[in-house]
Chain A
Amino acid sequence: EAGVTQFPSHSVIEKGQTVTLRCDPISGHDNLYWYRRVMGKEIKFLLHFVKESKQDESGMPNNRFLAERTGGTYSTLKVQPAELEDSGVYFCASSQSLGHNSPLHFGNGTRLTVT
């Protein structure tokens, strides 16, 4: 089975520009999560989709961040306009069902650098 894939693996943009990150979860996984790790600090939850619906977006830092999951398959996370403090590694994860017996599968992450 193919794992969670994220594109691009790296992105370098200037402050004020727009970047869109993509995550393809494992096929059949209804639950999709976005996390990010900023400046070597702890990983922080951003949001959780169940199919195409946002179940929990309490971790989204501000309205410059927009996540979508049209059709309940892949998801995109757009940052517009990007700021310096948005630099970090953005991880996507998926799971088949909710609960701790359904493990999270993570992608390799997208490293975003805003200059």
Chain B
Amino acid sequence: GNSVTQMEGPVTLSEEAFLTINCTYTATGYPSLFWYVQYPGEGLQLLLKATKADDKGSNKGFEATYRKETTSFHLEKGSVQVSDSAVYFCALSDNYQLIWGAGTKLIIKP
């Protein structure tokens, strides 16, 4: 069946560091791919998405490119801020459901 694997956390970085959170997937067909974020005390929010191969999703300085050849959708940001501290979830669409990764907690230290 379809599945999503993302790097375990927590990931701890200093402010202004470069961020990569790895996400790989297994899927039949051509799912859409998503990154969701959960800030402390809040609900899940869509961060970005890509609907087909080679699409790049971007938002708030974050980017991820849908790589069909490597079945990956890695999340990147060039310079993180303390306010980016949150849990990040990679997900794919499967018949109107979402299949989720386990989440990666990101901690940014000033």
Is the CB–CB distance between B4 and A56 below 8 Å?
Answer: no
Q: Are B43 and A108 in contact (CB under 8 A)?
A: yes
Shortest A96–chain B CB gap in Å is 13
How many B residues face the partner with a CB closer than 8 A?
23
A104–B98 contact, CB under 8 A?
yes
The answer to whether A4 touches B96 (Cβ under 8 A) is no
Say if the beta carbon of A42 comes within 8 Å of chain B: yes
Which residue of the partner chain A has the closest CB to B91?
A43
B99 contacts across to A, CB distance below 8 A:
45
Identify whether the interface residues of B are mostly helix, strand, loop, or mixed: strand
A:51-65 near B, CB below 8 Å:
55-56, 59
Q: In the complex the two chains form, is B93's CB within 8 Å of A100's CB?
A: yes
Mark out the residues of chain A between 69 and 115 whose CB falls within 8 Å of any chain B CB in the assembled complex.
91, 93, 98-100, 103-104, 106-109
Pick out which of these stretches binds chain A: B14-22, B44-52, B62-70, B76-84. B44-52
Are A100 and B32 in touch, CB under 8 angstroms?
Answer: yes
CA–CA, A98 to B96, complex, Å? 7
Query: Which of B36, B44, B100 lies at the interface centre, i.e. has the most chain A CB atoms within 10 A of its CB?
Result: B44
Decide yes or no: A56 and B96 within 8 Å by CB, A4-B43, A104-B46, A108-B42 being known contacts: yes
What is the 8 Å Cβ interface bit string for chain B, positions 25-54, against chain A (1 contact, 0 not)?
000000010001000011111100101000
Interchain CB contact under 8 A, B89 and A45: no
In whole Å, how far is A104's beta carbon from the nearest beta carbon of chain B? Answer: 7
Across the interface, do A45 and B4 meet the contact criterion of CB distance under 8 Å?
Answer: no
Nearest residue (CB) in B for A4 is: B43
What mask results when residues 24 to 57 of chain A are scored 1 for a CB within 8 Å of chain B, else 0? Answer: 0000000001010100111111001000000110
Whether the Cβ atoms of A100 and B51 lie closer than 8 Å is yes
Residues of A within 8 A of B (CB): 3-4, 33, 35, 37, 40-45, 48, 55-56, 59, 91, 93, 98-100, 103-104, 106-109
Q: List 17 contacting pairs A-B, 8 Å CB cutoff, sorted by A.
A: A3-B43, A4-B43, A41-B102, A42-B100, A42-B102, A43-B91, A55-B96, A56-B95, A56-B97, A59-B97, A91-B43, A91-B44, A100-B32, A100-B93, A104-B46, A106-B36, A106-B45
